[in-house]
Amino acid sequence: MIGPNGAGKTTLVRVLATLLRPDDGSLVLAGAPCPSQARRARAYIGYLGHDPLVYPDLTARENLELFASMYGLGDASARIDALLDRVGLLARSLEPVRGYSRGMAQRLGIARMLLHSPPVLLLDEPYSGLDVEGARVLDEELVPAAGHTIVAVTHEVDRAHALAERVVVMRSGKVVDDLRTAEVSLAELERRYAELVGAVAPT
Amino acid sequence: MATSQTPPRLEIAVAEPELAAVPRVGWRGPLAALVRKDVQLELRTKQTAIGMVLFALVAMVIFQFAIGSRTDDATPFAAGIIWATVALTAVLAVSRAWAAEREGRTIDGLLAAPVGRGVLLTAKAVSIFLYLLALEIVVVPLAVLFFVESAAATDLAIVFGLCLLANLALAIVGSLVASLAAFTRGRELLVPALFLPAIVPVLIAAAGGTFSVLGGTDDMAELRGYSLLLAGCAVVFGLVAYATYEFVFDD
């Protein structure tokens, strides 16, 4: 999803993550109508917002152990080790997150999001604050796999075109364009985006 | 969200084998993990318990100057002093109950997990209960020392029994108020405005029960009556929390 500031992208992702009740319409996530069966739907979702959504005064390992319990993973130490290794934080996993840089904390946020191997990933500007290593890890995760769905909000039209199968353009709370990236070039997407959202070109 | 004559429908489909792989989440594991997290955070940061104890000590010193120096025997006031101190200090515990989750909106991570809202509320009630118990372990013996002429060890034990009952009611209503107000802008005003009036029956029963023990009357019938009232408050607050917990975290 791309669009200018105030287009409603974050609101839509929060609705999809069942953090907000929609004013209107209906939402079905992995076969579970929301909000009536939101709890069941949440088991299928991995959500990463602007912030990593971890406790700064806990260590990376303690954070992941807490969230493993929240997803009913039982003994998840092997999974936690593997994820910490994957995001490059294994060596510093016993340090409080407060001492991490913004990029490291966001990498921990990626590990938290992937902990329960969710088939649906919801990402709200996931590259904001990420360092090069974190962006590389996230790029690897955002390769579409069979049976998986990834919804990501970004301001970067070129990255959206490179990673997504489908690009939705939002403006003033409405979907104003819905494109298959296989059918449009990056230049065409950028031109249409500029036309739809006004003179402001994407950054 | 955009509105139109035909409500929008958004469906995210996932292949069936992926759905089957997701485990069901109970309540015991998440509840224990959330309480353990609150204890870990408090032991590490010491931001709430120490503040509560200092506040309580200052409150008792103020009571000492306001009441203690005006009378030879402050025993009749001891129960009131204990529970006024606990009530005022409990406001701190309730106000700070979700402080860690407010930082960086960590609460979103918890709310996005497949755990019932009731588990989040119960975990916070358990944490508030523990804060209050830690406070009373300091406040009750000090209050007895400063304000009560003579008290036996059994009297202290009975008072701590009353503390457990009162804490149950205070923790339930405290958790509910904290969850309602924690993420609002005016929470500093909202928490005391909602919490203190709601706990008046608890204060009446706890102070009455404590007076019947420490006041020298040793009226067991009165103590039983106040204990029942405390238990009744806990049940009523529990029912209110049960009826509303699904909605307290709605934006």
Show pLDDT as tens, one digit a residue, over chain A (203 residues).
998 888 899 999 999 999 998 888 888 888 888 888 888 899 999 999 889 999 999 999 999 999 999 999 988 999 999 999 999 999 999 999 999 999 999 999 999 999 998 989 999 988 887 888 888 888 887 776 666 788 999 888 888 888 888 999 998 888 888 989 999 999 999 998 888 877 454 44
Check CB contact under 8 Å for B7 and A55: no
Whether B181 is covered by a domain: the verdict is: yes
Counting beta carbons within 10 angstroms of the beta carbon of residue B85, is it exposed (0 to 12), middle (13 to 18) or buried (19 or more)?
Answer: buried
Would B251 be classed as within a structural domain?
no
pLDDT confidence tier of residue B1, bands split at 50, 70 and 90: very low
- How large a percentage of chain B has pLDDT more than 90? 65
Is A9 within 8 Å of chain B by CB?
A: no
Secondary structure string (H, E, C) spanning chain A: CECCCCCCHHHHHHHHCCCCCCCCCEEEECCEEECCCHHHHHCCEEEECCCCCCCCCCEHHHHHHHHHHHCCCCCCHHHHHHHHHHCCCHHHCCCEHHHCCHHHHHHHHHHHHHCCCCCEEEEECCCCCCCHHHHHHHHHHCCCCCCCEEEEECCCHHHHHHHCCEEEEEECCEEEEEEECCCCCHHHHHHHHHHHHCCCCCC
Instruction: Tell me the pLDDT band of B68, cut-offs 50, 70 and 90.
Output: low
| Between B158 and B8, the higher pLDDT residue | B158
Q: How many domains is chain B built from? A: 1
Query: Looking at the domain assignment, is residue B212 inside a domain?
Result: yes
Interface-testing mutation among B105, B108, B251, with chain A (most A C-beta atoms within 10 A): B108
B34 interaction partners in chain A (CB closer than 8 Å): 66
The whole-number average pLDDT for the span B221-246 is 93
From the list B3, B32, B115, the residue facing A24 with the nearest CB is B3
Judging contacts by C-beta atoms under 8 Å, the chain A residues touching residue B35 are: none
Is B21 part of any domain? no
pLDDT of amino acid B136: 96
Q: Number of C-alpha atoms within 13 angstroms, CB side, residue B104? A: 20
Q: Are A40 and B21 a contacting pair at CB < 8 A?
A: no
Q: Which of B18, B24, B250 sits opposite A119 (nearest CB)?
A: B18
Using CB atoms, pick whichever of A42, A52, A62 lies closest to residue B114.
A42
- Could you read off the pLDDT of B116-129 as tens digits, one per residue? 999 999 999 999 99
pLDDT of residue B11: 61
What does the pLDDT average to over B154-166?
95
pLDDT tens-digit profile of B201-216?
Answer: 999 999 999 999 998 7
Q: What's the whole-number mean pLDDT along residues B132-152? A: 91
Q: State the alpha helices, DSSP H only, in B26-74.
A: 28-45, 49-66
Give the angle B20-A112-B16 at the CA atoms, nearest 5°: 15
B99 touches chain A (CB under 8 A): no
Mutate to test the interface with A, among B35, B37, B183, B247 (most CBs of A within 10 A): B37
The predicted pLDDT at position B228 comes to 96
**H-type helices in B182-246, by residue range?**
187-198, 200-214, 220-244
Residue B18 pLDDT greater than 70, yes or no? no
- Residue B12's pLDDT is 62
CA distance B131 to chain A (A): 19
Mean pLDDT of chain B: 88
Name the pTM for this structure.
0.89
Cβ under 8 Å to B: A residues 33-52: 39-40, 42-45, 47, 49, 51-52
| C-beta atoms of B109 and A112 within 8 A | yes
Q: Is B20 on the interface with A (CB under 8 A)?
A: no
Res B2: pLDDT: 41
Residue A65 touches partner B, C-beta closer than 8 Å: yes
- Beta-strand relationship, A174-180 and A166-171: antiparallel
Q: Give the mutation candidate from A26, A37, A54, A55 for the B interface (greatest B CB count, under 10 A).
A: A55
Residue B9 lies in a domain: no
The answer to whether the CB atoms of A16 and B12 lie below 8 A apart is yes
Contact (CB<8Å) A119/B11: no
Q: Is B9 left (phi over 0), alpha (psi -120 to 50) or beta?
A: beta
Q: Is A30 on the interface with B (CB under 8 A)?
A: yes
Please give the pLDDT value at position B10. Answer: 60
Tokens 């004013």 correspond to A23
Is B23 inside any structural domain? no
Considering only CB atoms, A73 lies closest to which of B8, B23, B34, namely B23
Given a cut of 90, whether residue B38 has pLDDT beyond it is yes
Mean pLDDT of B218-243: 93
Residue B112 in any domain: the answer is yes
Q: Is A198 on the interface with B (CB under 8 A)?
A: no
The alpha-carbon gap from B5 to the nearest alpha carbon of chain A, in Å, equals: 10
Size of interface A-B (CB pairs under 8 A): 164
Question: What SS3 string covers B75-120?
Answer: HHHHHHHHHHHHHHHHHHHHHCCCHHHHHHHCHHHHHCCCCCHHHH
Interface of A with B in 105-164 (CB under 8 A): 112, 116-120, 146-149, 151
C-alpha angle A96-B25-A150 in degrees, rounded to nearest 5: 75
Specify if B222 maps to a domain: yes
The residue with greater pLDDT, A88 or B218, is: A88
Q: What is the pLDDT of residue B19?
A: 56
B206 lies in which domain range? 29-244
pLDDT at B89 over 90: yes
